[in-house]
Amino acid sequence: MTIGFIGLGIMGRPMAKNLIKAGYKLAVYDKYAKFDDIVALGAATASSNKEVAAQNEVIITMLPNSPHVKEAILGSDGVIEGISAGKIVVDMSSIAPAASREVGEALKARGAAFLDAPVSGGEPKAIDGTLAIMVGGDQKSFDTLKPVLEKMGSSVTLVGDIGSGNVTKLANQIVVALNIAAVSEAFVLAAKAGVDPVKVFDAIKGGLAGSTVMNAKVPMILDGNFKPGFRTELHVKDLQNALDTAHALNVPVPLTAAVMETLQALTVDGLAASDHSAIVRYYEKLAKIEVRR
């Protein structure tokens, strides 16, 4: 099986590397990023998205948002111009479910299959190949691609038809954002009250309040380390897609809207490129206290 990989940013780069390490033959392309390190590992290069599609059986995209995916797949010199019947396109970006369905329909008209397969876990899990991958699409294509996806993730789940993967990812991002906000409120309160936040973490992480989010983000907060893993600006994008999708379905999401405004405030403060654990900075600013060791 030959694989073309489009999009070699913070997430796509380690994911592509894991496929090469697993023995897959890769051809790579990114319109905006350099990828000499991927080529050094043995990947071939392509000159366009169209060429990636023409030369490979499976095409994986990992791009920032819906417009980028639509440009790469449906745009001029895009994947759709090089695709042929029987090939499979897997978009692992986090985008609007409606955009996934639009792309899937266009590829179906060319005889190609499509899976939307967004991921959760951020850069650390992309590097070690333990992402959670939520997939929308048909069972046959999923079964064909599952061994490939398992080289990038420790959890690979088919959740429904095309678009379902990104609906699931939006649900995931709501839970993550609200969890970080709750952790931030709680630890700012503890610090302001004069209680050692390290001891608070040790006391509550094993109880009902404990979570994967807490375990991942509190140590970063305590160290004042807001180097991304997952950038605030990307969570803004995900929550905007969540709000748009929810509103289209007449589903009220007031807590999501509130955290979105927190993220917007961080953006105004110049923290768009910081890790989303910087949500704590918003609460620290309000309370005039820092949560540190």
- Express each pLDDT in 116-170 by its tens digit: 999 998 888 999 999 999 999 999 999 999 999 999 999 999 999 999 999 999 9
Query: What pLDDT is stored for residue 182 in this prediction?
Result: 98
Query: Is residue 199 domain-resident?
Result: yes
Same domain, 110 and 172: no
Q: What is the CATH number of the domain that holds 51?
A: 3.40.50.720
Query: What pLDDT is stored for residue 33 in this prediction?
Result: 86
Where a domain ends, among 161, 183, 205?
161
Same domain, 17 and 149: yes
Query: Is residue 97 domain-resident?
Result: yes
Catalytic choice (17, 50, 125, 169): 169
Active site residue 217: no
Query: Is residue 54 domain-resident?
Result: yes
Longest pairwise C-alpha distance within the chain: 64
Compute the 3-state secondary structure of the chain and give helix, strand, coil in percent, each to the nearest 5.
Answer: 55, 15, 30
Where a domain ends, among 125, 146, 161?
161
Residue that is written with structure tokens 């994986």 in the block: 60
Q: What are 161-215's pLDDT values in tens digits?
A: 999 999 999 999 999 999 999 999 999 999 999 999 999 999 999 999 999 999 9
Pairing of strands 58-61, 88-91: parallel
CB burial class (10 A; 0-12, 13-18, 19+) of residue 187?
buried
User: What's the whole-number mean pLDDT along residues 32-47?
Assistant: 93
Residue that is written with structure tokens 């509130």 in the block: 258
Where a domain ends, among 96, 128, 161?
161
Secondary structure class of 66 (helix, strand, coil): helix
Same domain, 134 and 183: no
Range(s) of the domain holding residue 251: 167-287
Q: What are 221-271's pLDDT values in tens digits?
A: 999 999 988 899 999 999 999 999 999 999 999 999 999 999 999 999 999
Nearest Cα neighbor of 277 from 217, 236, 237, 222 is 217
Cα(98)–Cα(102) distance, integer angstroms: 6
Q: What is the CATH number of the domain that holds 282?
A: 1.10.1040.10
Cα(213)–Cα(29) distance, integer angstroms: 33
Query: What pLDDT is stored for residue 45 in this prediction?
Result: 95
Question: How many domains does the chain fold into?
Answer: 2
Same domain, 77 and 190: no
User: What's the whole-number mean pLDDT along residues 68-85?
Assistant: 97
Stated as kind and residue range, the H or E segment containing 167 is helix 164-192
Query: Is residue 191 domain-resident?
Result: yes
Query: What pLDDT is stored for residue 229 in this prediction?
Result: 82
Same domain, 174 and 95: no
Same domain, 172 and 140: no
